[in-house]
Chain A
Amino acid sequence: MADAAIMLAVGLALGGLFAVADQLVTAGPGSVAEPLRRPVRLLLQQRRTTLLPDTLLWRVACVAVPLLAFGSLAVVPVAGWTLLSTTADLVWFNTMEVLLWAAVWLAGWGPNAVFSLVGGYRFLAQGLAYELPLMFAIITAGLAAGSLRAIDVVTAQAELWFVVTMPVAFVLFLVGVAAFAFWGPFAAPAGCDIAGGATSELSGVERLLVDGGRAVFLGAGSAMAVALFLGGGEGPWLPGAAWFALKTLLVIGTLVVAGRSIPVIRPDRFVELAWVVLIPVALLQTLFVALLVLAGGYG
């Protein structure tokens, strides 16, 4: 119970950090309190309904987004500690994010509104683009560590951080994180051109659940990037927790600055890029690491 509470706090902190960084870049220093203020504002707001909605599936989808976000966080080694540690952590992380396909599509389907539905479908199209590169990126780290347990992946980097031998996988992982949270350049499913798409009909607590869930996903994804590629809490002088926090901040900062410096990539273009460039590059990265493993490069 105490462990679950810690994870909840860690998730909110990570999501909050991401949201603060995002506000700093998009709206300037005056808006740093917004990630605190907005949830209260949404809790004061009435839940709105639409004409003939599929209420059950819509509500289920909205609750699912934060649940899946915390579900994925459960296997992320935060400063060497995880809520769950299984023999297939990496698969678990990936599963949570695959289930998000259903959640976002249902969130788009539920309200019985055109733009919302278009947003849901855009997310599926985007999924076709980011999913395979992301899977290969995750599995490459597991391959090098010889284990799918997240803690083992961190331990395996005691000598050398994986980002050194798998920089491509690191970048593809971050692209995947931004894409499954449909944030920044991958925000087409919630695009301004379709009035907010999958989120266009959300108000009150439902908007809080979905947007909050996305923020936690982004924070958890950044922390996972640190664990898989940047050696987790590894580092001289400072305690592991401090290193972990520093690295996570760095990843969040980089993601926000890079993500906000480019416009939305339309899903159809992204699919083209993914299948022509990203997937072949990801396969080459995996092949390279596999050969290194065979040559005994990871000890």
Chain B
Amino acid sequence: MDVRRRLSRWALSRPSVLVVEAPGARAIRWQVEDELDRRGWTTASSPAGADIMLVLGEPGPDLGTAVDLVWSQVPHPGHRARIADEGRGAVRDLLDKAAAALVDRAGEKPAGGGDPQAQLDGDGDVAGLPMAGTAEDRDGLELDSLTVTLGPVLPAWPTGLVVRAAMQGDVLSGVTVKWLDGGATATSGHEAPARAAAADHLARFLEVAGWPVAARQARGVRSDRRNGGRLARRIRRSRVLAWSVRDIDGVLGRVYRWCDVVAGRGAAVALEPRPRTSLDALLDGTELAAARLIVASLDTGTLRDAVELPDRYGAGHG
């Protein structure tokens, strides 16, 4: 048994962590992400791939419900932990304890509650779920239509934002957006230097854009371990990035503005133009990948304004 325990301690010494950030916990997330990078622990992009679920800050009632649902999807031996205080020592302590708890859990038998069919409720067509129907798409073709929800817990996603839409193929329509728990955002109560905030935005955008190496570099810039100018040059010079996202409204311009801030040119807030369109109109008719990139390219303040803006262009915008 001792061999088994040692083996599991070794195997679980670098667990995969699903980070769920509650409003106002941005400072903690920065410290947690830095520590994860330093230790070489990976971040999970879905609950199924996670060993540890780490909740940062104090989730409100709505987000709390979502967090419980996500936790129910983390497979055994999964460990759940919460941290509400900043401080490098606290973060290190928490991760050490979480890894140790995980080893203990791995020695236990899994609890029988892992069957998702047990959570069924609602009165949809099949087992409480609505069936995908068909509807006319943007070109007037009759296609399958599926109702999808983006958020509130997704990798590199603004905390508390929930986007609901009908999806045909991968095109979103009938988009509605809302903030959970009255709209407290990640940055509430956290003043950070413009450069660090811009680096953080870049890091999250680069994760969504599928460039993990550059995202890691951006996190290094955020904590002053890496050179911001070099990161900005790398992003601006990437023809693949420009070619891949240039057809998506305004994304590249906003990313380049963050690059300027990171490189020490230009002030962040003054350069950010207020959105002309509400977020639901902005996302209506876009593909899923494009919608994710658009959201990732807006800073939290702009995003808030965009959600609150009345839809001036109506549903036909796109």
Q: Which A residues fall within an 8 A CB radius of B?
A: 25-28, 30-31, 34, 37, 40-41, 44-52, 114-115, 118, 121-122, 185, 187-188, 191-196, 199-204, 207, 260-266, 268-269
Q: Do residues B213 and A51 form an inter-chain contact, with CB atoms below 8 A? A: no
Q: A118 CA to B172 CA in the complex, in Å?
A: 13
Tell me if B250 counts as interface (CB < 8 A to partner A). Answer: no
Q: Do residues B167 and A200 form an inter-chain contact, with CB atoms below 8 A? A: no
Q: Do residues B77 and A45 form an inter-chain contact, with CB atoms below 8 A? A: yes
Known: A114-B167, A188-B289, A207-B49. A27 touches B73 (CB 8 A): no
Q: Do residues A34 and B40 form an inter-chain contact, with CB atoms below 8 A? A: yes
Q: Do residues B120 and A45 form an inter-chain contact, with CB atoms below 8 A? A: no
Q: What residues of chain A lie closer than 8 Å to B243, measured between beta carbons?
A: 269
Q: What residues of chain A lie closer than 8 Å to B114, measured between beta carbons?
A: 46, 48-49
From 1 to 31 in chain B, residues with beta carbon under 8 angstroms from any chain A beta carbon are 7-8, 10-16
Q: What residues of chain B lie closer than 8 Å to A115, measured between beta carbons?
A: 46
Q: A157 CA to B211 CA in the complex, in Å?
A: 37
Tell me if B210 counts as interface (CB < 8 A to partner A). Answer: yes
The segment from B87-95, B148-156, B185-193 that touches chain A is B148-156
Q: A199 CA to B119 CA in the complex, in Å?
A: 23
Q: Do residues A51 and B288 form an inter-chain contact, with CB atoms below 8 A? A: no
Tell me if B207 counts as interface (CB < 8 A to partner A). Answer: yes
Known: A52-B117, A199-B49, A200-B45. A44 touches B209 (CB 8 A): no
**Subset of 14 A-B contacts with CB under 8 Å:** A31-B40, A41-B14, A48-B114, A52-B117, A192-B208, A192-B210, A193-B209, A194-B289, A200-B45, A201-B46, A207-B48, A266-B244, A268-B287, A269-B243
**Shortest 5 CB-CB contacts between residues of A and residues of B:** A264-B210, A263-B211, A40-B11, A46-B76, A193-B292
Q: A199 CA to B116 CA in the complex, in Å?
A: 18
**A201 (CB) vs chain B CBs: closest residue:** B48
Q: Do residues B238 and A263 form an inter-chain contact, with CB atoms below 8 A? A: yes
Interface centre among B42, B110, B129, B287 (most CB of A within 10 A): B42
The total of Cβ contacts below 8 Å across the A-B interface reads: 144
Q: Do residues B11 and A44 form an inter-chain contact, with CB atoms below 8 A? A: yes
Instruction: Give which listed residue, B42, B116, B292, contacts A50 with CB less than 8 A.
Output: B116
Q: A269 CA to B242 CA in the complex, in Å?
A: 11
Interface centre among A26, A45, A262 (most CB of B within 10 A): A45
Q: What residues of chain B lie closer than 8 Å to A31, measured between beta carbons?
A: 14, 40
Q: What residues of chain A lie closer than 8 Å to B117, measured between beta carbons?
A: 51-52
Q: Do residues B115 and A49 form an inter-chain contact, with CB atoms below 8 A? A: yes
Q: Do residues B48 and A203 form an inter-chain contact, with CB atoms below 8 A? A: yes
Tell me if B216 counts as interface (CB < 8 A to partner A). Answer: yes
Q: A199 CA to B127 CA in the complex, in Å?
A: 24
| Interface size range of chain B in the complex | 35 or more
Q: Do residues A195 and B120 form an inter-chain contact, with CB atoms below 8 A? A: no
A49 CB to closest chain B CB (Å) equals: 7
Tell me if B126 counts as interface (CB < 8 A to partner A). Answer: yes
Tell me if B301 counts as interface (CB < 8 A to partner A). Answer: no
Q: A45-B76, A52-B127 are in contact. List 8 more A-B contacts (CB 8 A).
A: A40-B8, A45-B51, A47-B75, A192-B155, A193-B209, A196-B48, A261-B213, A269-B243
Q: What residues of chain B lie closer than 8 Å to A194, measured between beta carbons?
A: 288-289, 292
Q: Do residues B45 and A195 form an inter-chain contact, with CB atoms below 8 A? A: yes
B238 CB to closest chain A CB (Å) equals: 7
Q: Do residues A46 and B244 form an inter-chain contact, with CB atoms below 8 A? A: no
Tell me if B212 counts as interface (CB < 8 A to partner A). Answer: yes
Indicate with 1 or 0, residue by residue over B211-228, a CB within 8 angstroms of chain A CB atoms: 111101000000000000
Tell me if B141 counts as interface (CB < 8 A to partner A). Answer: no
Interface centre among A46, A201, A203 (most CB of B within 10 A): A203
Q: What residues of chain A lie closer than 8 Å to B216, measured between beta carbons?
A: 26-27
Tell me if B146 counts as interface (CB < 8 A to partner A). Answer: yes
Tell me if B232 counts as interface (CB < 8 A to partner A). Answer: no
Q: Do residues B77 and A200 form an inter-chain contact, with CB atoms below 8 A? A: no
**B156 (CB) vs chain A CBs: closest residue:** A192
Tell me if B206 counts as interface (CB < 8 A to partner A). Answer: yes
Known: A195-B154, A269-B244. A263 touches B214 (CB 8 A): yes
B125 CB to closest chain A CB (Å) equals: 12
Q: What residues of chain B lie closer than 8 Å to A185, measured between beta carbons?
A: 210, 240
Q: What residues of chain A lie closer than 8 Å to B126, measured between beta carbons?
A: 52
Q: A266 CA to B240 CA in the complex, in Å?
A: 10
Q: A261 CA to B238 CA in the complex, in Å?
A: 9
**A194 (CB) vs chain B CBs: closest residue:** B288
Q: A95 CA to B40 CA in the complex, in Å?
A: 37
Q: Do residues A48 and B40 form an inter-chain contact, with CB atoms below 8 A? A: no
Known: A263-B241, A265-B244. A44 touches B8 (CB 8 A): yes
Q: Do residues B288 and A118 form an inter-chain contact, with CB atoms below 8 A? A: yes
Q: What residues of chain A lie closer than 8 Å to B115, measured between beta carbons?
A: 49
Q: What residues of chain B lie closer than 8 Å to A118, measured between beta carbons?
A: 170, 288
Q: What residues of chain A lie closer than 8 Å to B67, measured between beta carbons?
A: none
Q: What residues of chain A lie closer than 8 Å to B156, measured between beta carbons?
A: 192
Q: What residues of chain A lie closer than 8 Å to B240, measured between beta carbons?
A: 185, 262-263, 265
Known: A30-B40, A51-B120, A52-B127. A263 touches B48 (CB 8 A): no
Tell me if B100 counts as interface (CB < 8 A to partner A). Answer: no
